[in-house]
Structure 1
Amino acid sequence: MSNLRSTADFLLHDWLDVSRLAQRERFADHSRETFDAVFDTCERIAREKFAPFNRTVDVEEPHFDGERVILPRCTYDARQAYADSGMLSAAQDYELGGMQLPYVVEAAANGFFACASVSINTSMLTSANANAILVAGSPVQQRVFAANEFNGRWAGTMALSEPQAGSSLSDIATRAEPDGVDFEGDVLGPRYRLRGNKMWISAGEHELTENIVHLVLAKIPGADGKLVPGVKGISLFIVPKQLVNEQGELTGERNDVALAGLNHKLGWRGTTNTLLNFGEGRYPVRGGPGAIGYLVGQPGEGLKNMFHMMNEARIAIGMAATMLGLAGYYASLDYAKTRTQGRPVGVGGKDAAQAPVAIIEHADVKRMLLAQKAYGEGALALNLYCALLVDEGRTAAGEQAERARLLLEVLTPIAKSWPSEWCLEANSLAIQVHGGYGYTRDFPVEQYWRDNRLNMIHEGTHGIQAADLLGRKVRMQGGAGLMLLAETVNATIQKAMAHARLAGHANQLARALADVGATTKAAWANEQPEEALANAVPYMQAFGHTVLAWMWLDVACSVLSRDATLSDPQSVGRMGATDYFFQYELPRIGAWLQVVKERNMVCAQMPLDAF
């Protein structure tokens, strides 16, 4: 935790200068001291209530006894400590019981919990669920549902995928039909009856809270009783596990939401992952068949309203992947410092009379550790930068806020996808540093890899993120977002040119940026989506590596501005990670971009029977 704290402190204060946010009205009550106090609290709870039980929740998986889902006691204690800390509503208004913290501080503080045990930390979707209701819900829905999620009484989920549809939301078949029964003066919103099945619902059933608030995508039938094809007919509904009244009190009647099964996962085993049936009749609700749901916003605007939740969730997944990468790095670093094996290459290196050295003295182990540091700390820089853009978009004035929102739109696919790929690679390297021991459950690094493998799928697969990036984000508003990114990166390049130590890296990044821009144009030269998007993932990999090179170059500028002689070992470490990224990682982008430029169709045109 101490390594994470020092890295987060540097990035937040020495690099991003987040204390300047206290000059804005919303954050006027805050300062470096209040931010540090939040970090102290979160670091302590993570150390005491989460970290000691990371292995426990991995081996004592949730199970269903026929009536309820059973979780180990430590999960209840950890969630209660987290809720009591106020972190569920840390960035919310005082009127909602929040602290009005900057989102960037909230995101960094939550990192301690993910680093300690990502599998215990089940609160991510609760906050995102409540935020979606704040954006699109009625005042009553905000007061009843969002407020009780923020105060910890209730938990939240998002229910999108269906067994037959997967990520193709246009193919969902859950129906929502208007409920003509008006009992007890219900004012929670237009009431519907939902019937359908939802899959891959994280924390979809448990006893951690007195209620679970599901945000469900469903289609309202047309006048002919048929569902509207595509995404236009999709609406968003609040479907509570336990029915409630307008005062937020449980009515004592269970909604017709039933657990159909638990998914048994490679990682994140401490979090329940469920298949839920809505309206199957296991828990009949008076007035007719179907689960009671309350429309959020306008009919047909479900995806728009849900995406308020999904974008935040994607940044959170990027942070989760980052923290798992860093957890593996810290574990393998400690191991490499204490594990003795072999002797240095060179004169006398094979002399058995010499004492074995710690494996961290071997060049290849240093390579693996440096790669992990470059991936993990670089990903943390990226996600904190994106979190700061959230704050800028919400609280800056005029054009500054608009630019922040636009830049965030372009970077969000990278903030989710890049850490989930490369911090997974960091976890693989952490296993390699441990050698055979890393493959056993005697050490934590194998669990970090298993937990992290989910994140390339979580909240939109790599392919979905890549199609979003190349198919929409870099082209929206006539390419304005991509041009803004180039402008912002070029500002860092010019800043770096003032440091002789960084001039070579600055020129290398300038070439990479130009190559990404040219490749973007080449991909769409004939305006054929099937050709342009055939290699969207390699494009995203190259785009992401260019963005991470920018992050490291900007961080390096801050390092040299504060410690020009590199007298601090941490400064040496950050500069070493920068050098590693430019010399070992950024050169990879050429091969990735080449197939995109050519609109190479080897994969797309592979005959099905040839497999």
Structure 2
Amino acid sequence: MSYIVDRRNLDFLMFDMFDVERVLAAGPFEGQDRELISQLLDTAQRIAEAEYLPSAATLDASPPTFVNGEAVMPDDVGRALRAYIEAGLSAQSFPPENGGLGLSHTVSMTANGMFIAANVAIANYFLLTAAAARLLLAFGTDEQKARYASQMIAGRWMGTMCLSEPQAGSSLADITTRAEPAADGAYHLRGTKIWISGGGHRMSENIVHLVLARLPDAPAGVKGISLFLVPQKRLDDMGAPGEDNNVRLIGLAHKMGQRGTTNCQLNFGEDGPSVGHLIGKPNQGLHAMFHMMNEARIGVGHVATMSGLMGYLYSRDYAVERLQGRRIGQKDPASPQIPLIEHVDVRRMLLAQKAAVEGALALCTFCALLVDQQKGAADEDQADLALLIDVLTPIVKSWPSEHCLEANKWAMQILGGAGYTSDHPIERLYRDNRLNHIYEGTFGIQGIDLLGRKVRMADGRGLDLLLARIKATIDEAAGIPALSGHAGKLEEALGWVRDATAAAVRESDPERSLANATLYLDATGTVVIAWLWLWQAMVAARAEETAIGAGRAFYQAKHATCDYFFRYMLPRAQIDLRLVEMLDDSCLVTTPEQIRAA
């Protein structure tokens, strides 16, 4: 079996549940049928298992080192990246007119998921590059697209995004990096950026840094931030990388996970001009950067999901093979031991993982499909799809980051003491996954974004659109006797979300309104995942009628996991949403002095 993908479940999600072939046929992705998609996934799985997976443990143990001002990488990293490029995968989701293969975001994300599960530390390099190239296609000049984005799409150059500074992490209003206009129309940047993933190496001919900075006359705060393209090497008249651009690697951060991805402190302009080029309009850098950020947030949720998936598949296989103990009530020491999976609490932990991981994967796939639908939608539908994506983005970033990390915890528990050792991948997966709670905006930031902005936009239409889709599934499932009880419970849960949202929106004190925003985010996410599990169970119930053997067991497992989610996980959302509705101020009124005194 594979530890990086469950192809049976992927086929179920893409072709049975979401009917990807039909959806893509209606947009700009005509011809991407099941045969083509399956061939691409076969190629991705083969390369990921052959080139990425074998080096995951060794790269974690021996990450890049800082030597003479640059990051020295193990040879395995470059070899794996070359295999990815040679297969054309760096270009997979870009339009043909820009040198891409024109694949849908859904198909590309699914293929990349195998590389993430196999070795996220290597996969990160081109995930970041692809997001940066897409930003340039959206906001760059024709020259920037031709000279820079085309090289990134081809896999010859890589990209980063440079936001945080030593004094300004999530608080981008406080950045101080400066961009001084030069006589030739370019800009000279000076400042320090930290936590820069994917920089400092020599694995590509050039690195394109996207840097937030302030112009000399910029207004204070986030309204005065511009975005600049700053290459590691300047281009000559032929567009080839030439002289050094004074972007200096000062050091590497040593992270608890994803250790094979360089995490850099970069200085711009310290030893001479770091020449940059304005992307988009002055003082509108955040608008452009968040185009990249929103895509990255969906990507972070998918990374968390795939780390959770590998842990689940590994611990499931371990539980089948590992003999340990006897059944409750069996006291004869001479009787044979039984596999771990025969113990009911182990099955509980496997169900918890399956519920989180397969629910999160359904969410990521649904969000990716919305992105694809938006590209082919009529003008009158574009705004609604955009609002729906806006509401789901903080959820898809955060719910998998929380609950698929929890799934890795249960995987480790199933292995017992062995799970804490480097003999098995679980402890590495857990460390890798922990970073996703912070990447691209922390749990708390996402909660404020959802409750403070997204559900209020357009008079709440985005949330209304989401709840309407959930209600349609409820109405359909209500006619299936085995699922009618879950349908009724989910309809009740929609009331929890509506009541909590209304109470928070009515509250005039913003601190009190958002005091429990993180609880709102997580609980609303749980309601969304419950919807996706009801949808999966509904599709499985119909397919089960004609299925036999292993196919029948697969569909029965979908129903069983839906039962688990509704009985064990959905009720927790009611508790949290009730606190939001009550505008509970326990955390708000507890003072810093009280906490320090404790």
Range class of TM-score, shorter chain: over 0.9
Q: Indicate if the aligned counterparts of 2:71 and 2:201 stay in contact, CA closer than 8 A.
A: yes
Partner residue of 1:200 out of 195, 200, 205: 195
Are 2:322 and 1:339 aligned? yes
Structure 2 counterpart of 1:306: 289
* Alignment of structure 1 residues 31-430 onto 2, 5 Å: 31-121=33-123, 122-180=125-183, 182=184, 190-222=185-217, 228-245=219-236, 247-250=238-241, 252-281=242-271, 284=272, 290-346=273-329, 349-430=330-411
User: Which residue identity lines up with residue 429 of structure 1 in the other structure?
Assistant: W
> How far, CA to CA, are the matches of 1:120 and 1:81 in structure 2?
12
> How far, CA to CA, are the matches of 1:435 and 1:23 in structure 2?
48
Q: Indicate if the aligned counterparts of 2:105 and 2:372 stay in contact, CA closer than 8 A.
A: yes
Q: Deviations over 1:524-577 (max 9, x none)?
A: 222221101111111111101000001111111111222236641111111111
User: Which residue identity lines up with residue 188 of structure 2 in the other structure?
Assistant: R
> How far, CA to CA, are the matches of 1:443 and 1:197 in structure 2?
38
Q: Deviations over 1:270-295 (max 9, x none)?
A: 100001111111xx3xxxxx311100
> How far, CA to CA, are the matches of 1:409 and 1:138 in structure 2?
26
Partner residue of 1:604 out of 588, 591, 594: 588
> How far, CA to CA, are the matches of 2:336 and 2:146 in structure 1?
67
> How far, CA to CA, are the matches of 1:414 and 1:605 in structure 2?
27
Q: Indicate if the aligned counterparts of 1:560 and 1:566 stay in contact, CA closer than 8 A.
A: no
User: Which residue identity lines up with residue 44 of structure 1 in the other structure?
Assistant: R
Are 2:431 and 1:450 aligned? yes
TM superposition shift of 1:424: 0.2
Task: Name the SS of the counterpart of 1:501 in structure 2.
Answer: coil
Task: Name the SS of the counterpart of 1:294 in structure 2.
Answer: strand
User: Which residue identity lines up with residue 73 of structure 1 in the other structure?
Assistant: D
User: Which residue identity lines up with residue 91 of structure 2 in the other structure?
Assistant: S
Structure 1 counterpart of 2:30: 28
TM superposition shift of 1:22: 4.5
Cα 1:580–1:565 change in 2 (3 A) is: farther
Aligned length: 589
Q: Indicate if the aligned counterparts of 1:62 and 1:71 stay in contact, CA closer than 8 A.
A: yes
For structure 1, which segment, 25-34 or 462-471, has the greater mean C-alpha deviation from structure 2 after superposition? Answer: 25-34
User: Which residue identity lines up with residue 213 of structure 1 in the other structure?
Assistant: V
Cα 1:173–1:377 change in 2 (3 A) is: same
How many percent identity over aligned positions?
48
* Alignment of structure 1 residues 546-585 onto 2, 5 Å: 546-564=527-545, 567=548, 568-585=552-569
Structure 1 unpaired stretches of 5+: 183-189, 285-289
> How far, CA to CA, are the matches of 2:291 and 2:527 in structure 1?
27
> How far, CA to CA, are the matches of 1:376 and 1:397 in structure 2?
33
Q: Indicate if the aligned counterparts of 1:238 and 1:293 stay in contact, CA closer than 8 A.
A: yes
TM superposition shift of 1:8: 1.1
Task: Name the SS of the counterpart of 1:30 in structure 2.
Answer: coil
Q: Indicate if the aligned counterparts of 2:78 and 2:203 stay in contact, CA closer than 8 A.
A: yes
> How far, CA to CA, are the matches of 2:247 and 2:536 in structure 1?
49
> How far, CA to CA, are the matches of 1:419 and 1:300 in structure 2?
33
Task: Name the SS of the counterpart of 1:475 in structure 2.
Answer: helix
Partner residue of 1:534 out of 507, 515, 523: 515
Task: Name the SS of the counterpart of 1:499 in structure 2.
Answer: coil
> How far, CA to CA, are the matches of 1:478 and 1:372 in structure 2?
37
For structure 1, which segment, 518-527 or 57-66, has the greater mean C-alpha deviation from structure 2 after superposition? Answer: 518-527
> How far, CA to CA, are the matches of 1:574 and 1:27 in structure 2?
30
Q: Indicate if the aligned counterparts of 1:57 and 1:120 stay in contact, CA closer than 8 A.
A: no
Task: Name the SS of the counterpart of 1:199 in structure 2.
Answer: strand
Cα 1:571–1:65 change in 2 (3 A) is: same
Task: Name the SS of the counterpart of 1:556 in structure 2.
Answer: helix
> How far, CA to CA, are the matches of 1:22 and 1:607 in structure 2?
53
TM superposition shift of 1:30: 2.5
* TM-score, normalised relative to structure 2: 0.97
Q: Deviations over 1:439-476 (max 9, x none)?
A: 11111100000000000000110011000000000010
TM superposition shift of 1:84: 1.6
Moved over 4 A (4+): none
User: Which residue identity lines up with residue 113 of structure 1 in the other structure?
Assistant: F
> How far, CA to CA, are the matches of 2:455 and 2:202 in structure 1?
43
Q: Deviations over 1:87-123 (max 9, x none)?
A: 2221211122211111101111111101111111121
Q: Indicate if the aligned counterparts of 2:257 and 2:428 stay in contact, CA closer than 8 A.
A: yes
TM superposition shift of 1:370: 0.6
Are 2:417 and 1:436 aligned? yes
Task: Name the SS of the counterpart of 1:98 in structure 2.
Answer: coil
TM superposition shift of 1:595: 1.8
For structure 1, which segment, 504-513 or 526-535, has the greater mean C-alpha deviation from structure 2 after superposition? Answer: 526-535
> How far, CA to CA, are the matches of 2:276 and 2:411 in structure 1?
46
User: Which residue identity lines up with residue 210 of structure 1 in the other structure?
Assistant: E
Task: Name the SS of the counterpart of 2:453 in structure 1.
Answer: helix
Structure 2 counterpart of 1:590: 574
* TM-score, normalised relative to structure 1: 0.95
> How far, CA to CA, are the matches of 1:490 and 1:211 in structure 2?
50
Structure 2 counterpart of 1:287: none
Structure 2 counterpart of 1:187: none
Q: Deviations over 1:575-596 (max 9, x none)?
A: 1111110010001012211221
> How far, CA to CA, are the matches of 2:371 and 2:43 in structure 1?
24
Q: Indicate if the aligned counterparts of 1:128 and 1:313 stay in contact, CA closer than 8 A.
A: yes
> How far, CA to CA, are the matches of 1:523 and 1:581 in structure 2?
27
Q: Indicate if the aligned counterparts of 1:148 and 1:248 stay in contact, CA closer than 8 A.
A: no
Q: Indicate if the aligned counterparts of 1:154 and 1:211 stay in contact, CA closer than 8 A.
A: yes
User: Which residue identity lines up with residue 75 of structure 2 in the other structure?
Assistant: R
User: Which residue identity lines up with residue 518 of structure 1 in the other structure?
Assistant: D
Q: Indicate if the aligned counterparts of 2:70 and 2:249 stay in contact, CA closer than 8 A.
A: no
Cα 1:565–1:95 change in 2 (3 A) is: closer
> How far, CA to CA, are the matches of 2:547 and 2:483 in structure 1?
14
> How far, CA to CA, are the matches of 1:303 and 1:22 in structure 2?
31
Q: Indicate if the aligned counterparts of 1:154 and 1:210 stay in contact, CA closer than 8 A.
A: yes
Q: Deviations over 1:380-399 (max 9, x none)?
A: 00000000000011112233
> How far, CA to CA, are the matches of 1:499 and 1:592 in structure 2?
29
Q: Indicate if the aligned counterparts of 2:27 and 2:375 stay in contact, CA closer than 8 A.
A: no
> How far, CA to CA, are the matches of 2:69 and 2:213 in structure 1?
27
